[in-house]
Amino acid sequence: MTSIRTCMGDGHRVELSLDELRRDLLAGSEDAARRAKIPPLDDTEIEWLADIFAYPGRIAGVQPGNEVVLTKDGCANTLYGSQVSSGVGVPLAREQGIRVFERALGFDTMEVGHPDYSFKPAKPLIALEQLTMEQAQLDCVIPLFYGAMPNMGLYFRPDGPFANPADLLPDGRIEEARTTQLEAAARLRDDMLYVAHGIADVGADGIDFDTTASAGDAEFLATLEAVGELAATTDLAIEVGMATELVLGFHGELSYAGTRLAGLWPHQQVAVVEAAGAHIFGPAVTTNTSRSSPWNVARACTFVKACSLAATIPVHANVGMGVGGVPTAEVQPSNVVTRAGVALVEIGRADGL
Amino acid sequence: MSLCHALASGMGGMRTSGDLVARMQLRKMRLPQAKRYVADKLGVVVDDLTDSTLMRELREELDIGVITGPPGLAKGIEAKVRIADLLGVPVNSVARLQRKTAGPASSMFRR
């Protein structure tokens, strides 16, 4: 009996029979379809996924002609970073790292980003961020984004000035929790605009709002408002990458352009992101560590396919650690990483990763 | 992980035409349209866009930046000036360069 070597969502090795593989692919796709009320993958797509996972080579690749554009959150920080985000601790300046991604790794685009990769800590260092972008624009040929996370959690106590809704909600103080989220969202929006306008002034090609809505619907609203203003007032190309597949309703009553934000799935998120004026959308689907990688990849493909079909702008599926079917593991299994990317392109119909 | 995606799914950046197709996605073009647009501007077919041998020669001929480091060819912002002209799209850093070199500096070049 054929045995297929793959991984669980936590990166540990697992062997599946062909029947078990197909069972997991169907179950993952049906889970996404049931939750978001979208079509599951059809029989042809399930068989295509089965072929991708059953291919005996260590790594897989898209068919010639199906190559896609790569954008990258976290930028060259991956090279000099520490254990967090799978950084490998190479003693390179980020300017050098950007050139390595352009010249040695053949990346299609790259980013400048603060080591913390959040807008709040980048704001007081805007002059340094501008200087790095200016110099990198002189040196590089590939398009360069500035990348950062909205990360609204940094605005709540003990890390920020506003009361923490996670303290207020368990006490039933709903209105206070909503008010503090709106106050934090307004400050976040202003900080994002401050950084983005500074970056636009020095000739950046674009800006990447990464891991958007990690703190729920209020963070999503702040980001959409910032995107709307930047689209109207700058020449920046704007990418909005999400934190996970569902916008959590920590506030619950917020809307943008007439659409309630809480509870939006990727195929609905892309519509509001387009309405705000963004140029690229990055759907994210969180990996379930207790399920197999085939289950997770099929689930991610189902969400991303619905999103790609609904979109009018390019869709760059998030496929880093813990999203897009990629295991949540510090050292990534290349067999699954490559298969997840191929699947999101060829079955999820993504325009990029 | 990034290298995995670059090898398995990426267009190849400056090894091929990935940076050029990316520039059209920054204009909201979906992938098939972006590839067709770039192929038309380069005078090749879409399948040629990820042919590293063909694109290495074509990029040198057009002087729009190559992945290796031959002396004399356009580098960095020099290549982007030519890319903006080739693709017929504005590039923010090129627009900034033009502003910075307008006036006294540009008249000095003309002398």
pLDDT of residue B109: 58
Average pLDDT of A144-152?
98
pLDDT of residue A1: 61
pLDDT more than 90, % of chain A: 93
Give A126 to chain B, closest Cα distance, Å. Answer: 18
CB count within 10 Å of CB A314 equals: 29
| Cα gap A220→A150, rounded to integer Å | 9
Q: Which of A151, A156, A77 is nearest to A120 (CA)?
A: A151
- What residue segments make up the domains of chain A, in order of their start? 66-282
Is any Cβ of chain A less than 8 angstroms from the Cβ of B40?
no
pLDDT of residue B107: 65
**Segment holding A256, helix H or strand E:** strand A255-256
Binning pLDDT at 50, 70 and 90, where does residue A76 land?
Answer: confident
pLDDT of residue A73: 85
Average pLDDT of A223-227?
98
User: Can you read off the two tokens belonging to residue A9?
Assistant: 């969502």
Is any Cβ of chain A less than 8 angstroms from the Cβ of B53?
no
| Cα gap B24→B30, rounded to integer Å | 8
Binning pLDDT at 50, 70 and 90, where does residue B106 land?
Answer: low
* Measured CA angle at A101 (ends A98, A102), to 5 deg: 85
For residue A122, the SS3 value is helix
Best mutation target, A72, A78, A141, to test chain B (most B CBs within 10 A): A141
Is any Cβ of chain A less than 8 angstroms from the Cβ of B45?
no
* Closest by Cβ to B12, choosing from A86, A106, A338: A106
pLDDT more than 70, % of chain A: 99
* Closest by Cβ to B21, choosing from A69, A206, A280: A69
Average pLDDT of A237-263?
98
Task: Flag if A67 and B19 touch (Cβ within 8 Å).
Answer: no
Taking each helix axis from N to C end, the angle separating A43-54 and A18-36, rounded to the nearest 10 degrees, works out to 130
Residue B42 has pLDDT above 80, yes or no: yes
Third-level CATH fold of A66-282: TIM Barrel (3.20.20)
A229-240 pLDDT, tens per residue?
Answer: 999 999 999 999
| Cα gap A305→A33, rounded to integer Å | 11
**Range name among A21-30, A81-90, A113-122, A154-163 with the lowest pLDDT average:** A81-90
Residue B110 has pLDDT above 70, yes or no: no
Task: Flag if B19 and A279 touch (Cβ within 8 Å).
Answer: no
Q: Which amino acid is at A213?
A: A
Torsion-angle region of residue A86: left (phi > 0), alpha (psi -120 to 50) or beta? left
A334-351 pLDDT, tens per residue?
Answer: 999 999 999 999 999 999
| Cα gap B57→A202, rounded to integer Å | 32
| Cα gap B51→A338, rounded to integer Å | 21
Read off the DSSP letter of residue A203: T
Average pLDDT of A83-101?
87
Taking each helix axis from N to C end, the angle separating A174-201 and A126-139, rounded to the nearest 10 degrees, works out to 40
User: Can you read off the two tokens belonging to residue A311?
Assistant: 């979109």
pLDDT of residue B104: 65
Residue A273 has pLDDT above 70, yes or no: yes
Average pLDDT of A58-80?
91
Phi, psi for residue A131 in degrees, rounded to 5: -60, -45
If you average pLDDT over every residue of chain A, what do you get? 96
Question: Residue A9's Cα: distance from chain center in Å?
Answer: 17
* Closest by Cβ to B25, choosing from A72, A235, A314: A314
Give B111 to chain A, closest Cα distance, Å. Answer: 25
| Concatenated DSSP letters of A69-81 | B---TTTTHHHH-
pTM above 0.80, yes or no: yes
Task: Answer whether B39's CB lies under 8 Å from B46's CB.
Answer: yes
